[in-house]
A and B are shown apart, each in its own frame.
Chain A
Amino acid sequence: MNCEEAVEKVWQFLDKELDGASFSEMQKHLEECRHCFSKVEFEERLRAMLRRSCCSEQAPAELRERLSKLLRLF
């Protein structure tokens, strides 16, 4: 696998959607290529950041209560 192919597959790799053979090829390339390794690491961090920034909010207590009351009417 060369860098161009690796870049094409970065997201599928991080999404855990590559088949066994492609996944191994990608891993091997990342061991050998520091540039691609850094890129994948960056994408990984970016995703963690996106997840963290979106997961800090909780449903308001009023909503929880409203839905609970509604459920009791069923």
Chain B
Amino acid sequence: MEGAGIPKPAGPERGLAAGAASAVGESVPHAASAEDRGRFEGLIGEQLDGLYRSALRLTRNRSAAEDLVQEVMLKSWRSFHTFQEGTSVRAWLHRILMNAFFDAHRKQTREPEIAEQEDIGEFYLYDKVREGGALSEAGNPEVVLEQIMDSEVRESLEALPVQFRSAVLLADVEGFSYKEIADILGVPVGTVMSRLSRGRHQLQRQLWEFAKDRHLVRGDGR
């Protein structure tokens, strides 16, 4: 099996099964047994695509995303013995991913964190698209939505300040609950809700700009 690579997940059901299996061991001895390694390898294999996608959205760079995922694997292996039965493998790995990313991010950038109270205003794409005269001949907000390209959606997400981006990514793409996101990011639930709200408004504003640029809608003052 040398060089065969970490096995790919067989289907959505296996992720849960692997998570449950990995949680069975009460404490993993420090010296790794072949069994531990196998279990860990299976677990990482199941989660790799998701971790890589999250890393890519955060770093916005393929090689940086690969390095980040590798770091997550090394860190999670080191603390694999602390992994608690009954907790979500996916949430645990995302917590390690976010910590590793934000540690590096803080060192690399001097950009100040966005103040929690800074107001960027409410913006609902739906209302903008429906406003008089904004619609293209399609005449229906959903049709406008369908014409926005996947790459534009990803670009809009990646344009968000990283605090907002991480919250939106964890909620809307990964489907974590507010409580899980609060645990992953190490912030109160109220902060999660505020970051989500502002991140989503900002994302919609960005999508609106794309729609205007591509003349899917007629923007203000045109």
B189 to chain A minimum Cβ distance, whole angstroms, is 9
Complex CA gap A64/B150 in Å reads 25
Report A-chain residues with C-beta under 8 Å of the C-beta of B123.
none
Report B-chain residues with C-beta under 8 Å of the C-beta of A47.
172
Interface residues on B, range: 35 or more
Q: Are A57 and B56 in touch, CB under 8 angstroms?
A: yes
B100 at the interface (CB under 8 A from A): no
Q: Are B125 and A59 in touch, CB under 8 angstroms?
A: no
Report B-chain residues with C-beta under 8 Å of the C-beta of A68.
3-6, 41
Interface residues on A, range: 35 or more
Main secondary structure of the interface of B (DSSP, over half): helix
Given known A-B contacts A46-B145, A52-B150, A63-B66, A17 and B3 have beta carbons under 8 A apart: no
Which residue numbers of B lie inside 8 Å of A, CB to CB?
Answer: 2-6, 8, 32, 37, 40-41, 44-45, 48-49, 51-53, 56-57, 62, 66, 69-70, 73-74, 77, 124-127, 141-142, 145, 148, 150-151, 153-154, 157, 168-169, 171-173, 175, 177-178, 193, 196-197, 200, 203-204, 207
Please list 27 pairs of residues, one from A and one from B, whose beta carbons are closer than 8 Å in the complex, sorted by A's number: A11-B196, A15-B196, A42-B141, A45-B145, A46-B204, A50-B168, A50-B173, A52-B150, A53-B151, A54-B53, A54-B154, A54-B169, A56-B150, A57-B52, A59-B49, A59-B69, A63-B48, A63-B52, A63-B69, A63-B70, A65-B4, A65-B5, A65-B6, A66-B66, A70-B73, A74-B37, A74-B77
Which residue numbers of A lie inside 8 Å of B, CB to CB?
Answer: 7, 11-12, 15-17, 38-39, 41-43, 45-47, 49-61, 63-72, 74
